[in-house]
Chains A and B, each alone.
Chain A
Amino acid sequence: MQQSDLATKEKITWCPGCPNSQILVSFRQAVTEMISEDSFDKTQDKKLKIENLVAFAGIGCHGKISDYLNINSFTSLHGRLIPAMTGAKCANPALTVVGFSGDGDSHNEGVEHLVHAAKRNSDVSLFIHDNRVFALTTGQFDALSPKGFKGKSTPFGSLEEPFNPLLLMLASGATFVARTYAGDIAGTKRIMQAAIAHKGFSYVDIIQPCITFFDTRDYFKDRVYWIGEDFAKDNLKAAMEKVYENTEEKVPLGIFYKVDKPTFEEELYK
């Protein structure tokens, strides 16, 4: 299958230059490889079947991605994709369930679902388009905006510290926690493939600077770095320390944590 087969005829309406387009390309590449190669193997007997792939999305700029993907899709309400993802996976465990969400979508509106899906280790993959701002509503602070963020609803600066999303996921029981940078298409593709291949709840934070309402491209460009391949992925404490490292100086990318645990859906049918 060609990558173009995954595209619809819909005109892309993200801002020209928005890193969301890079995330879309990364995903199409990831899937194109996984449906054509024998290497991807979740159940150890077959590759990813395109008819079994379902892309969920929430509401926010990220959510437009459903219209650009010629695959099964479910565009949920704002913040509510995660329970729907678990529902679909429970109903048909043969499905490969991925979700696109934003930091506003899943760290504000639907944060309870995020925490509980990680807790129950639902076998779904969640890709967070992390732009640290509410963009589709034209620029307000959100759960991941830095304190002091000046948006339309906080003209004098936001009053709250942001979540550390990766730390939150590690604490909640996610069995795959990673971060990537939208500008690094190959890196994002690799992480997405690893997340989809992982059996259990995969959380991928994709740093996606909003070029219109919170342009952090320069900030991140100089700070992101990939952690070494030798990083021990099964050590929760080490993972927590690593994701805590997100400082003014450097922002680590890579897979911080990956362990195998029974999934919710496996337990359901046991």
Chain B
Amino acid sequence: MNEDQNKDIFTIGIGGAAGDGVKKIGINIGKFLCEIGFEIYLSIDYPSLIRGGHNFVRLSFSRNKIWNDYERLDILVCLNEETKEIHKDEIKEGAWVLEGLKTEEILEKIKEFLSVKGFNENEQNSKLSLIDGNTAFAKGLEAAGLDFYIGYPMTPSTSILHYLASKQTKDGLKVIQPENEIAVINMALGISYAGKRVAVGSATGGFALMQEAFSFAGQAELPLVVAVSQRQAPATGVPTRSSQSDLRFAIHSGHGEFPRIVMAPGDPEEAFEIGAGALNLTWNFKVPVIVLLDKILSEHLMAVNIEKLKDGNIERLENGNLKFPGTPEQVVKVTSYEHDENGITVDKAEDVKRMVEKRFIKATHIAEEMKNRETIKVYGNTDSSDTLVFFGSTKSPILEAAKHFNKSIKLVQIVWLEPFDAEKVERELEGKRVICVEGNYGGQLASLISEKTGIKIRDKILKYDSMPFDPIELAREINQKFS
């Protein structure tokens, strides 16, 4: 398999120093290609600094759906001298290397390239537009009637804060940036108590600071959506690079036992749907809902039919059983202590047991709801005994790699990580040759599947170098394992 034989897929790389406008130029090229009908996947790689350092935007485009960008370049745009040296081994034979050009000149060269390749610039009027996972997620929240977003900046979650802050209106959406993450989530719980729809977001490090209050949301049954975007950890880790190492942390977050929902979208379209769904689920079931993202999904852009997303029938589900302060003849008491139905502190054993069970009744209601939801998604050859299983943004490189598989394989995406749909997963994986593909060292999804279904997954492809999977490399490895 040789990526250079990818005849209908083209890749452009744009490199330069931080501050050179790499991202802006890259996205402009992407937008232009999108407008004239190309499918696009655009990745952004940058170090954690404001000036200097090497920034690189790479976009692959095609007339057909593109799930992931490729390493090998048809065009390399150099905004500084270093770029050519860094990427010299990635250019295809006959690739165009553009140096010392202004933005408009770069675009002219790309038009020229298209014409050489036989594309007519105005041949399609596209319904697609480029969107990253964070923005799509935020649009989903908006569509389901978000009233408040509370956030503290932390890569790679910050663009949710930025996008929603720009969408504030006098009497509509409000966005607040308090003093720290602990204030973020506690402020959100005050908002939720007063009856408004609220979401918070952070990287997992920020969410780590929110743990006690996340548990409070479980105890007090206050609706709350939490967006958690993973980056390479532990601790400060590699701030601008990705990871899927917080799956276990997310599903087990908060001390004590209480029902919660954790969903992991795999692309911007799913981020939109799950963002909207999360707000309605938390409102409906009064359990905190986590939407697990990662740097790749949060920041990479994909061509999506945004109108279709916006016009989707997203309902703002109401829950008539919720009570809020400000209602005459009604006293609404919530507390972080164990409490009875009236919100009065209790500590008698029988009361404690009864209230734990009361909260877990919701888990059975959620289990019912899951029957109507796409808790898992299956792609590829559903009859194949060779099966890949994955979650989150790994969907992108796997669906792209599938174009290069030697045989058709079943692809299983786990969307709901908690509660885990053991029945559906078992049905898809039982008796199959399964490889689990995930972006962490420990094989957290594989161990979760094993825990929930009893199916042992011995074959894993794990990546923990903070960089995205490359579809060609992935296809090569999978072809070898399934040969």
To the question of whether A and B form a pair in one complex, the answer is: yes
Please tell me if the beta carbons of B191 and A90 are within 8 angstroms of each other in the complex.
yes
List B residues 158-181 near A (Cβ within 8 Å): 170-171, 174, 176, 178-180
B154 within 8 A of A: no
Please tell me if the beta carbons of A269 and B170 are within 8 angstroms of each other in the complex.
yes
Question: Which of A49, A52, A84, A113 touches B179 (beta carbons < 8 Å)?
Answer: A113
A62 CB to nearest chain B CB (Å): 14
In the complex, chain A residues whose CB is within 8 Å of the CB of B212: 77, 80
Please tell me if the beta carbons of A95 and B336 are within 8 angstroms of each other in the complex.
no
Please tell me if the beta carbons of B180 and A87 are within 8 angstroms of each other in the complex.
no
In the complex, chain B residues whose CB is within 8 Å of the CB of A213: none
In the complex, chain A residues whose CB is within 8 Å of the CB of B343: 73
B248 CB to nearest chain A CB (Å): 24
List A residues 28-53 near B (Cβ within 8 Å): 49, 51-52
A75 within 8 A of B: yes
A117 to B184, CA, bound (A): 13
A109 CB to nearest chain B CB (Å): 10
In the complex, chain B residues whose CB is within 8 Å of the CB of A90: 148, 174, 176, 187, 190-191
- Give 1 or 0 for each of B212-247: 1 = CB within 8 Å of chain A CB: 110010000000000000000000000000000000
List B residues 174-201 near A (Cβ within 8 Å): 174, 176, 178-180, 182-184, 186-196, 198
Q: Which residue of B lies closest to A58 (CB)?
A: B336
Q: Total contacts A to B, CB within 8 angstroms?
A: 137
A171 within 8 A of B: no
Given A10-B344, A75-B336, A116-B179, check contact A91 B190 (CB 8 Å). yes
Q: Which residue of B lies closest to A85 (CB)?
A: B190
A66 within 8 A of B: yes
A250 to B179, CA, bound (A): 36
In the complex, chain B residues whose CB is within 8 Å of the CB of A49: 328
Given A84-B186, A113-B183, check contact A91 B334 (CB 8 Å). no
A28 to B216, CA, bound (A): 28
B162 CB to nearest chain A CB (Å): 18
Please tell me if the beta carbons of A72 and B187 are within 8 angstroms of each other in the complex.
no
The interface size of chain B toward A, counting residues with CB under 8 Å, comes to 45
In the complex, chain A residues whose CB is within 8 Å of the CB of B368: none
In the complex, chain B residues whose CB is within 8 Å of the CB of A81: 186
A88 within 8 A of B: yes
A184 within 8 A of B: no
B185 CB to nearest chain A CB (Å): 8
A70 within 8 A of B: yes
A70 to B331, CA, bound (A): 7
In the complex, chain A residues whose CB is within 8 Å of the CB of B178: 83, 86, 116
A73 to B335, CA, bound (A): 8
Please tell me if the beta carbons of B213 and A80 are within 8 angstroms of each other in the complex.
yes
Q: Which of B170, B171, B187 lies at the interface centre, i.e. has the most chain A CB atoms within 10 A of its CB? A: B187
Question: Which of B179, B187, B213 touches A112 (beta carbons < 8 Å)?
Answer: B179
Given A77-B186, A92-B194, A94-B326, check contact A72 B333 (CB 8 Å). yes
A207 within 8 A of B: no
Please tell me if the beta carbons of A87 and B194 are within 8 angstroms of each other in the complex.
yes
Please tell me if the beta carbons of A88 and B345 are within 8 angstroms of each other in the complex.
no
In the complex, chain A residues whose CB is within 8 Å of the CB of B333: 66, 72-75
A54 CB to nearest chain B CB (Å): 5
Can you name 5 A-B residue pairings with CB atoms under 8 Å? Answer: A51-B327, A88-B191, A91-B196, A95-B326, A112-B180
**A residues adjacent to B (C-beta < 8 A):** 8, 10, 49, 51-52, 54, 56, 59, 64, 66-67, 70-77, 80-81, 83-92, 94-95, 112-113, 115-116, 268-270
